[in-house]
Amino acid sequence: MRKQRFIALLSATALVTGIIVSIPVAANAAPACDGKSPIQTCVGATSDGAPYMMMVPANFGGTVALYSHGYRYNIDIPAGIPLIGGYKVTNTPEPVPNGNSAVAQYLFSQGIAVVGSGFARQGWNPDSAIATDVELIGVFKAQFPTTTKVIAWGSSLGAVITQGLAEKHPELISAAAPMCLADNVPAELTMAGDFLWGLKVLFDPTIKGGNYSAGAAGNAEAYGDLVKVFTVMGKLQASLTTNAWPDTSSPTGKALAAGGVPPRSALLLLGLMAGLPTQSAHFDSISGPAGALKLSFPLAISPALAILENGTNAAALAILATQDVELQSGGAIFDNTKTDYAARIENERVVFNAALSGNAVIDALLGAISPANPDAPRAVGSAAAIAKMNALHSNSGKINVPTILMTGVSDPITPAGASQRVVDAYAEQFAKEKTAAFAAYKTTKSYVPPVNKLLMLWNTTPGKGYTTFTDAGSPITTTPAATGTNHCNFTSAQLLVVAKSLVSAGATGKLPSGGAIVTAGRKAGNLVLDPEFHAPLLKYYNQ
């Protein structure tokens, strides 16, 4: 167990293509095109300075696919920081997901052009990014006047941008595909902030955890928090063998340790109250090693190991994205002064009772993080800053054009509940459209039923369990992440299902349905259409 290592998840999420381009200095100038065949490449910058790339096949048939990339850090990460160190801020355009060659080849084979921007601002940027995409559509149409249709897709934060584009400007696009959709910023940062706050309160009170200073001082504080969090997570990993609490634990944490509370149970409770998935890249909460731990490992240990993997991602998100949004909002934006963590885990304390070590331990942990404990001060946000954060772009979930959603059921950064919120909103929207159709029938005597405009593809985890063990019974974490886990962890086959559905919907105005899409999802692997599946909404919504 001591030799298990973390997987650097965040550093591999939705960064850039391998294509480096020379961007014209003058923003808003006409694109510079190389005129090559069979693929012509054009580059330029929009009026806000956002670099873009267009790739147009010789058989261009009038449809262009606009891709919006996911969250990129807005500060450099020093090389010495574990897991994600060495990252440099980049605005390289990304016209297809992660430069996926199979996706690009398919689109080009259909005569479809691709376009993507690096955006003018990195970090949480939907407000500026949507405006950039709107302008970029106009630039492309001006350069290629035979354009007839635009289809839009994106991943993670890029999915927020794509959904926002469809909500604000449905007249510009024919179909949309938000993949591994992030929720609105208050919900996302509540999830991440709850977990980070819990780590600070129990395992290392020197973690700042928010309210970062401006400028270089704030960067240094964020870097320090990253090191502290990764260090704590490493110590918690080791504690699964030793049962020893980290030496950096708070007085409250040390009191819990003296009372016999396992650190794994404390870690799991923090993950549950934040709403993190209890299946992760290598831990399914189903499988156990041969021998004495066959049943107890999945029941009592595996959920905590899943939170160990997933929580590392959530805590890093909390630090970097919180600092980013605080700079935009002008102050502290995480506030849990009114959060009832006991209510948050009312159901989970039953389901995970064994892993949480029983009711007495659960009650002790809830007491430790309650407002009554002076050693666990709640985070107090700035009302003005929170108001500014809440004024940043948010999506309602309204569906205006044929839309394909795809998400992993155990994504730790953009939980499946973010897509579920859109599914729920559309169910209400569709019901209202049916009611309106019936009302119109009374007048026209002709019933025109509403057409379904939402296809939800759930990327599920392997059904039979996927945790593997050494002969000595230790879990193996060097294998590739399981399907349905990690952030935007899609195969080329799964991306192609979305791409083909998007192209079809853009051309016909209708989503694929019935056996054809079910079969396509099965063949791609672990993509299902299940109207009975309901992912829990983020804890921000008190569910």
The pLDDT value recorded for residue 9 is 27
Q: Classify burial at 24, counting beta carbons within 10 Å of its beta carbon; exposed 0-12, middle 13-18, buried 19 or more.
A: middle
CATH number belonging to domain 10-184+394-541: 3.40.50.1820
pLDDT band at 240; cut points 50, 70, 90: confident
Give the distance, in angstroms, between the CA of residue 367 and the centroid of all CA atoms in the same chain: 31
Mean pLDDT of 259-272: 98
Q: Please state the φ and ψ torsions of residue 52, each to the nearest 5 degrees.
A: -140, 165
> 407 by DSSP, 3-state: which?
strand
DSSP character for 190?
A: H
Q: Classify burial at 327, counting beta carbons within 10 Å of its beta carbon; exposed 0-12, middle 13-18, buried 19 or more.
A: middle
Asked whether the predicted pLDDT for residue 33 surpasses 70, the reply is yes
Domains of the chain, residue spans = 10-184+394-541, 186-390
In this prediction, what percent of the chain has a pLDDT beyond 90?
91
The pLDDT value recorded for residue 26 is 67
Asked whether the predicted pLDDT for residue 6 surpasses 50, the reply is no
Mean pLDDT of 47-76: 97
DSSP string, 20-41: --PPPSSTTPPPEE---SSEEE
Taking only the tens place, the pLDDT of each residue in 134-146 is 999 999 999 999 9
Asked whether the predicted pLDDT for residue 90 surpasses 90, the reply is yes
Asked whether the predicted pLDDT for residue 18 surpasses 70, the reply is no
Mean pLDDT of 67-85: 94
pLDDT band at 542; cut points 50, 70, 90: confident
| Mean pLDDT rounded to a whole number for the chain | 93
Taking only the tens place, the pLDDT of each residue in 91-116 is 999 999 999 999 999 999 999 999 99
| Integer Cα distance of 342 and 210 in angstroms | 23
Asked if 166 and 173 touch (Cβ cutoff 8 Å), the reply is: yes
> 57 by DSSP, 3-state: which?
strand
DSSP string, 501-532: HHHHHHHHS----THHHHHHHHHHSSEE--TT
Mean pLDDT of 105-129: 97
Cα-based distances in Å from 28 to 1, 32, 43, 473, 475 = 55, 11, 11, 60, 54
Asked whether the predicted pLDDT for residue 25 surpasses 80, the reply is no
Asked whether the predicted pLDDT for residue 436 surpasses 50, the reply is yes
The pLDDT value recorded for residue 414 is 97
Alpha helices in 330-397 (DSSP H): 341-344, 348-351, 359-368, 383-391
